[in-house]
Amino acid sequence: MKAVILYDSKTKGGSTEMLIDSIGQQLAESGLYVEKAKCIATADYSFIKEFDIVILGAPVYNFIVSPQLLGAFLQGNLKKHLKKKRVALFLTCWTAESMAAVFYLPQLKMHLLTNRILVEKIFHPVESSSDNAIESFVDDLLKQYERSIGSRNKSIIWSDEAQDWLEVVPGFLREKIRSMAAEYAIMNGYKEITVEMLDIARHEIGEK
């Protein structure tokens, strides 16, 4: 599983960078491949197609979410490439969580109306080094991701032949293959998992 953290901040080594380092480290310790990228409003965000989870994080300056992240939605192609992605959000600011949820989070969420938002959190600057706050953000994120994949996998149909094929796979591998096949089907627009699709997936995945 791959996650990318897209962030913006004017402060080198500030709260936002401390947070993304800790979040990235905890995700990596949970077995994820993690990359981070600092936003530039006009950058090309097509690279995020490689990632299963996109985490967006930024501070608030003068009542507005940091400009390069907002700009990536408004001027760049971030919105286009975020389509159908599972997203997590965090902001860092001084404002109380309840107020920030009303005034600041919507500045990002208005661009994410069709996305599944796994988790959203306001961190106060002091929490940028709080293991508990970061741990609970990462735990919630992973739980919600697993849940979203689980319900999605259940909606995929297996043909009779594909089911028969799965039955002969050793038991200890079956669930892993079931989940990988469902993931491949969804990513590639298949409504049904067939033996032919499994062959194609096997070749494609084998070649990577």
Ligand X SMILES: Cc1cc2nc3c(=O)[nH]c(=O)nc-3n(C[C@H](O)[C@H](O)[C@H](O)COP(=O)(O)O)c2cc1C
Indicate whether 67 belongs to the interface with ligand X (CB under 6 A): no
User: Least distance to ligand X from the beta carbon of 154, Å?
Assistant: 40
Residues in the chain: 208
Distance CA 161, CA 200 (A): 15
User: Which stretches of 52-170 are DSSP H helices?
Assistant: 67-74, 78-82, 97-103, 105-109, 131-154, 160-167
User: Least distance to ligand X from the beta carbon of 31, Å?
Assistant: 28
Please, which of residues 5-34 interact with ligand X by CB under 6 A? 9-11, 14-16
Contact pick of 30, 38, 52, 61 for ligand X (by CB under 6 A): 61
Total residues at interface with ligand X (CB under 6 A): 16
Q: Of 24-32, 55-63, 81-89, 159-167, which segment contacts ligand X by CB under 6 A?
A: 55-63
Indicate whether 68 belongs to the interface with ligand X (CB under 6 A): no
Indicate whether 162 belongs to the interface with ligand X (CB under 6 A): no
Classify 63 in phi/psi space as left (phi over 0), alpha (psi -120 to 50) or beta. Answer: left
Contact pick of 60, 118, 198, 201 for ligand X (by CB under 6 A): 60
Burial class (CB in 10 A: 0-12, 13-18, 19+), 108: buried
User: Least distance to ligand X from the beta carbon of 124, Å?
Assistant: 7
User: Least distance to ligand X from the beta carbon of 51, Å?
Assistant: 22
Residue 198's Cβ-side half-sphere holds a number of Cα atoms within 13 Å equal to 18
Indicate whether 102 belongs to the interface with ligand X (CB under 6 A): no
Distance CA 108, CA 57 (A): 10
Distance CA 146, CA 118 (A): 10
- 148 contact partners, CB below 8 Å, separation of at least 6: 86, 116, 118
Q: Of 26-34, 70-78, 88-96, 192-200, which segment contacts ligand X by CB under 6 A?
A: 88-96
User: Least distance to ligand X from the beta carbon of 184, Å?
Assistant: 38
Contact pick of 25, 29, 74, 94 for ligand X (by CB under 6 A): 94
Residues that bind ligand X (CB under 6 A): 9-11, 14-16, 59-63, 92-95, 125
